[in-house]
Structures are given as C-alpha cells and as structure tokens.
Structure 1
C-alpha cells in the first residue's frame, strides 16, 4: 500500500450495520472528512487505500472477522493507522484487550456526536505525528546506510560515550584518524551535535 499525506483527514469506517454505517458516513462527510466505508473486515483487507492522517472506526462485533481479530491482523502486517472501537455490546475483557493492543479509544453505541468528533480529531493528530516520525526514522536509516563499516564502528562507540582517544585505542588507530571518521559520521548523519547522533542512534534501535 502506498502512503499519501491527506491533511483533511480520512476515516475508514468498518461496520456490518448498514443503517449505522450509512448515517455515520454521511455525517462525517458533512463535517469535511474523506470517508471510506466497508461492510466487513474482509472487504477492508482487500482494499488498497492508505492515506495519512487517517483513523479506523471499527465495529467490535462483526460476523466474518471481529474487530479484535482485524486489529491483530493489521498489527502483523505493520498497519499503524490508529483505531477507535465502536460497540453496542462488548465484554469488559474485550475492551481491556483492545486498549492494551493499542486502540486509541472505545466508544459505545449510541455515542455522543461531540465525543466521536473529538476522538477522531485526536486520532488524526496522533497519526500525523506518527507519520512524521516514520519519515524521520526512514531518513536516519538512509543516512546511516551511507556510512562505511569503519564509520559505523566509530559511530557506535561515539554514542557509547567514548572519547576520540579511547576509540582510537579500541580500534587500533590514531586520534587524528578518529577525528576524520567522526567528522564524516556527523556530516553523513546530518548531526549537529553528539546529542543528535545519540538520539538518531536510539531511533534506529
């Protein structure tokens, strides 16, 4: 799936209740959201739409694949769009399990319109931040892969807190050589300080 930025915000609505799905889709479109609605989890899984920021409004109880089952499947394939569960009847254990697995919210039908819109707004803001972080990590990985094997060794020792002289002794080379490697590491990683380099290294791990 290709990811595209959509600043308006996209809502994926998955609910087997035709009446609920139709009225909720219409309401969300009226307030400006781009809405894709699905009658089942299976139909959602076969779709090829993925934008950002987005949120999934997911009915907990569906006949083919339950909301929790779908959430687990999405997690396995690396799908990170935030999920808000909707339910008319759910056991406390299901609610706890869903929230523990990362659902952002859980709303009971019939829900308050303002409550729903607030939950959607929070989820979209979360997804936008998450998307930016993914892009940043991707950039860091790309920069890290430009390092030579020796530069990667120097980078690892720098983030451990070793001084140039200590790194030189560890790698069996001179202080001057390490200074050159360090400068190249900082340049390639686009790190303006050692603190930046440490933070980037943590992001990679």
Structure 2
C-alpha cells in the first residue's frame, strides 16, 4: 500500500513570495503547503508525511535557523532548503553544516529551486527507507535471547562455532542450535547476509 504523496512545505512571511513559489512548484507537479511563520509551520508539521521544506531565513519571530534547530531537537527529519534576500556566506555555511540541502538567494531561479527540491525529496526518501530498515532490524534483534545476541556478535566478528563455544564456555553442538535460531529470527540464510544487515544498522 502506497503512503502519502510527498509535500513541499513553504514558510515565508511575504504572501507574494508564497503565492509565486506555490505556483511554480504546483506547476511542476508538487503538493504544496504554505505557512507565513515558523510557529504555524511547526504546529501543523507532520513528520510522518514525506517531503521537504523551503524556508525563508529571515522570518519574524523564530527564523529559519530556529525551525532547523526545532526539527533537529525532536524526532523529525526533514530536508530543508533555505531562501534568503541577501547573500550571506556565514549563514549559508551554518545552514549547510547543519544538514540543509541548499541555500538559495531571492529572487530564486526556477531551475535552481526545482533542482534543490528534487534533491531534497530524494534525500527524504532515502532517510525514510533507512529508518524503516533500522526499525525492522531492531524488531528482529528484540526477539533474540541474550545468548543468541552473544552468538550473533561473535559470528559477525568472524568466529567459527568451535571458537564461539570456547569463548562462551559451552559445547559446539549447543552453539549450532543457538546460531540456527539466531539466523532464523534475523531472517538471513548466510553469514554474509547477516554481516550486511548488521553493517547497515551500524551505518
């Protein structure tokens, strides 16, 4: 079942800018939600909805950096694109270091904005897929017994059954049983698959 379509959130206190950006993005096929200030955006923002946000840096009250900080301090991961009325290198460096996709100067060029939004939506999709994979792995790990977790750690480290038995103070036959149950619960058939699965979670 397909999830909700991506939404591009626009936050700008200039109504003319909001209308112009909405027309531009809607004409390119994007679903758009508009807000005139940071507080309104954060109040209605749903992190479960895929998409990105295009933020005016110089908002009244809480500015664009405030939104970036508010999202980062919570559980929401939202790719951000900043717009500013003036070229400000220190501000752009700060935004990019904090994970912004792009930092564009008004009046923004159509091609530049559409390219930045396309990049942000790809990043959002990748983050969500990675999050789903991590959640799936955590669910599998939660089904393991403490001894099966120990076996998993040693298998991933490259130990053979005989070596694992020696380290855990048991017999090889018992380790084979624990290893089989662990592999089954993890949903993998080979050690290589197990290593890749654990590496993705650690990455």
**Which structure: greater strand fraction?**
1
Do 2:71 and 2:78's aligned partners in 1 also have CA atoms closer than 8 Å? no
Aligned counterparts of 1:143 and 1:45: Cα–Cα separation in 2: 34
Aligned counterparts of 1:143 and 1:12: Cα–Cα separation in 2: 35
Aligned counterparts of 1:204 and 1:49: Cα–Cα separation in 2: 25
Deviation at residue 196 of structure 1 after TM alignment: 2.2
Do 1:87 and 1:109's aligned partners in 2 also have CA atoms closer than 8 Å? yes
Report matched runs for 1:41-56 at 5 Å: 41-56=38-53
Aligned counterparts of 2:137 and 2:115: Cα–Cα separation in 1: 33
SS, match of residue 6 in structure 1: coil
Deviation at residue 202 of structure 1 after TM alignment: 3.1
64, 78, 81: which one aligns with 2:75: 78
Counterpart in 1 of 2:19? 22
Aligned counterparts of 1:175 and 1:54: Cα–Cα separation in 2: 51
TM-score normalized by the length of structure 1:
0.92
95, 101, 104: which one aligns with 1:107: 104
Counterpart in 1 of 2:4? 6
Counterpart in 1 of 2:145? 148
How many residues matched?
A: 201
Aligned counterparts of 1:64 and 1:5: Cα–Cα separation in 2: 34
Counterpart in 2 of 1:171? 168
SS, match of residue 4 in structure 2: strand
Are 2:66 and 1:69 equivalent residues in the alignment?
yes
Runs of 5+ in structure 1 lacking a partner? none
Aligned counterparts of 2:108 and 2:145: Cα–Cα separation in 1: 56
Deviation at residue 6 of structure 1 after TM alignment: 3.1
Runs of 5+ in structure 2 lacking a partner? none
Deviation at residue 154 of structure 1 after TM alignment: 0.7
Aligned counterparts of 1:130 and 1:168: Cα–Cα separation in 2: 39
Are 2:178 and 1:181 equivalent residues in the alignment?
yes
Do 1:61 and 1:87's aligned partners in 2 also have CA atoms closer than 8 Å? yes
Q: 96-105 or 85-94, which moves further after superposition?
A: 85-94
